[in-house]
Amino acid sequence: MQRKLELYLQSLRLDRWPRSLAIIPGVIAVFILTPGLLHQINWVNLMTKLVVGFLLTWFISTANYIVNEITDAPFDRHHPQKKNRPLIHNQISKTKLMVFWFILVGISVAVALVLFHRYFLFSLMALLAAGIIYNIPPVRLKDIPLLDSTAESANNPIRFLIGWYIVETAFPPLLLLISWWCFGNFLMIGKRMAEKKFLTEQESAGYRLSLKKSSFHLLMSFMAVNAFVFLLTFALFSVQFKFYTFLFSLPFILIYLIMFMKKSLKDREGAEEPEKLLKNPHFLIYTIFLVILFILAYILK
């Protein structure tokens, strides 16, 4: 019984909870753009909503992983590690996984209706819809070259919106959303490049159909395009809202992007799970440096 429960928990991929922390930049952005709000906010209420908002985002992300676990089972057989997932070997039930899905979605919708503004609920449902469109035929954007990573990285701006709507009800700056989307897409393309390089042609084509129609050169070019659009839209956002000091961080951000691109060509695990890059002391130190740089840029604006 305990072993069976462990297999179900493994399929829920609960260890990916750090990705739901991506709602925090949305919260921070509200205070950066409306600094007077710092003196008006009820901090106990905000922290309570932030914790609950994180949990609901984690629940919906887990629901999406359940959909992915079920729809990807035929393809995961071709992946050297994922071929060992319990559903592939009929060690767990699809029906019971879907029961978990309904429970997670039901709780999330009910709590969001009671505690949050409707825009928060819409964003939460957008995250759920993104997972369905990405994974389930006949749309299944996961199988379409370039749209594959673009659709998966849409989770980035959606999670940003979830965090934003914990505090605010007005729509955030579009340039900031586009920039955040392109940054996420940059990371997701790195994941595809790693799969293309480190898996055999048969494994990559069988595991991810979009890779069958994507060349390494095409992926690298698309990665560069997303890096450019990310930097451009971030620069335009900085000028639009008169955060001119943010512009001085652009060369350092570019270095960070180049570091990741090189890592994608050398380290498969780091590219496939970008958050694991922070275990690398060089990436961790440079990430902390960038955070400090942004804080100083904001103080000196």
Among 4-18, 59-73, 132-146, the least confident range = 4-18
pLDDT at 279: 72
Instruction: Collapse the DSSP code of 243 into the 3-class scheme (helix H, G, I; strand E, B; otherwise coil) and give the result.
Output: coil
Torsion sign (Cα): 160, 161, 167, 168: positive
pLDDT at 268: 60
Is the preceding omega at residue 138 within 30 degrees of 0, hence cis?
yes
- The listed range with the strongest mean pLDDT (249-253, 284-288, 294-298) is 249-253
Q: What is d(CA 127, CA 89) in angstroms, rounded to the nearest whole number?
A: 29
Per-residue confidence (pLDDT) for residue 2, from 0 to 100: 61
| Tokens representing residue 100 in the block | 């978990």
pLDDT, tens only, 168-202: 999 999 999 999 999 999 989 988 888 787 777 77
Lowest-pLDDT choice from 18-27, 186-195, 223-232: 186-195
Query: Which pLDDT score is estimated for 183?
Result: 95
Residue with tokens 């908002």: 53
Tokens of 240: 């639009």
Instruction: Say what the pLDDT of residue 180 is.
Output: 96
Q: Please, which pLDDT band fits residue 209 given cuts at 50, 70 and 90?
A: confident
DSSP state at residue 91: -
The pLDDT value recorded for residue 100 is 93
Question: What mean pLDDT comes out for the span 1-22?
Answer: 82
Q: What is the pLDDT of residue 86?
A: 80
